[in-house]
Structure 1
């Protein structure tokens, strides 16, 4: 099979595209022929060697994809050949075939096309976890999202809007600003403007997946407000002294999706809740940017450039 792989950690020059052996499934696994493969910032960190990656020779990156079941292990009962499924936490995804434990496979809902679901996958489940496990906002509250037009940001903003919150945020370009406003945001600041001086900078919750903006996020949160830290797309966060939070009763929350997405039942429940927003037209996302798997280097470069709006997907050769 064809795959995107590398032998050593480094920049995009280490990535290669070529033939590797097709994996063999166990009794409890499915063999998935991938249709769309999700590319995420975590994959960039893994390629650099600064984030956990499953050992293999050569390394194959990626943990998220959508495809069709082409083989079932003898112990698998809930899936059959030709089922459309997606997964968000299975290694070696940047390949034409992937072995997926049945408990980590999620059936693609009827009524949503494969490309849309692939573009929702990990970012959507992350947004759902942030909103419903960490945020728990009340109707009418003001919330702020850094990177509001990114993959997670687009879904999170519309999810919170649909749930009755007033959503504000930052982004990097006028094009991205207009996109966020069209998706229901109340006001969106360009990152290089002096948005911190906004007179209404009083937010019950600030969602920060940028990292380096953490102290700014704490300034934006109201007394008794909270900052939800969930990523480092812009760089490592600064150190925070808890004593600085104490005087204003501010909270800093974080969490790992995998502590919540930890069983087949949780995957089913959470994905159904997520996809209900899309089926009911409460969330719409920008068209994903699709690269052939063979041009994986270009896809990585595009994601790292900061120019991407929404999801970046890789397309296997014979799709």
Structure 2
């Protein structure tokens, strides 16, 4: 089969399409003929040499795919060859086939075409596990979402709104803020022109926000804590602004606030399976009804993965960038 590898660390030019042996599903795994794969920030970090795959995971990038089941490993029940599915991966998505634990595979939601479904599993699992399972977002609470125009951000805005909470967003351009507004964001801040801490205080009459979903990390750490309300929760899922920062524990304790820092990729298969079950129960019905939708910006052929990364790096996208691997 054909698969994309990184020929060293660097920019999009290090991506190479190779012919490699097809995977064989192990016990408890399914083999998927990939139709489309999603690009993620983790793929870029891996390309730059900053985020290696977990032990035992494929070196091929790609954390979410859609496609059809080609074969079942020993002990797998509930699926049949030919089923249209999407899956959460620890790696291996930029390929014509991938083997994945069955617990990380879900049927494509009703009403979603097979290629578009590749935009769903990684972002839905990330957002639901962090905001609702870890941070416990409740109806009526306010949630500040940094980077609201990406795949994670566009899904987060929709789910926060769908569960009765109030989404606030930051983005770096008018167009991206308007995209957030169109998805249901109630309050919008341009981080290039405004101090989001001051704006949050104004919007909340000095109270602050209940939950912050942050992809920036160190650069925003203290400003995020300043923006939190009493008993607020800061959920850090990315380090685009660095990994090391000083923390004022007095401010954190005074607010009785919590910092939750998580990754999804390296979690044990059992934890990922539990998250995917929760996604199937709570998110898939919203997708099937049309209340929540996968936002796809552009689709590139697998052979043009380098061009897809170049576009992703530009920051111009709103929603997911996908790789088309096979006809849907």
1:204 matched to 2:210? The reply is: yes
Structure 1 unaligned runs (5+)?
none
* Per-residue deviation, residues 77-122 of structure 1 (Å, max 9, x unmatched): 2211101122212432211111223333222233322233211211
CA drift at 1:317: 5.2
| Equivalent-residue separation in structure 2 for 1:298 and 1:55 (angstroms) | 28
Aligned to 2:175: 175
Moved more, 168-177 or 189-198: 189-198
Q: Is the contact made by 1:68 and 1:84 (CA closer than 8 Å) also made in structure 2?
A: yes
CA distance in 2, matches of 1:147, 1:103: 29
Task: Give the direction of change, closer, same or farther, for the CA distance of 1:318–1:154 in structure 2 (3 Å limit).
Answer: closer
Partner of 1:152: helix, strand, or coil? helix
1:252 pairs with one of 256, 259, 273 = 259
2:275 counterpart of 1:271 = no
Q: Greater shift after overlay, 20-29 or 287-296?
A: 20-29
User: Match for residue 91 of structure 1?
Assistant: 91
In structure 2, distance between residues paired with 1:318 and 1:185: 34
CA distance in 1, matches of 2:33, 2:96: 6
**What's the offset of the Cα at 1:17?**
1.5
In structure 1, the partner of 2:48 is: 48
Shift, 1:281, TM fit: 2.5
CA contact under 8 A between 1:142 and 1:166: conserved in structure 2?
A: yes
Deviates most, 224-233 or 296-305? 224-233
> Partners in 2 of 1:281 and 1:41 — Cα distance?
26
Counterpart position of 2:133: 133
Gaps of 5+ in 2: none
Counting only pairs closer than 5 Å after superposition, residues 85-234 of structure 1 correspond to structure 2 as 85-196=85-196, 197-198=198-199, 199-200=202-203, 202-211=208-217, 212-234=219-241
TM-score, L = length of structure 2: 0.88
* Distance (whole Å) between structure 2 residues aligned to residue 254 and residue 126 of structure 1: 12
1:167 deviates by: 1.8
Q: Does 1:17 align with 2:20?
A: no
Distance in 1 (alpha carbons) for counterparts of 2:158 and 2:7: 40
- Matching of residues 73-84 of structure 1 within 5 Å: 73-84=73-84
Cross-structure match for 1:316: 325
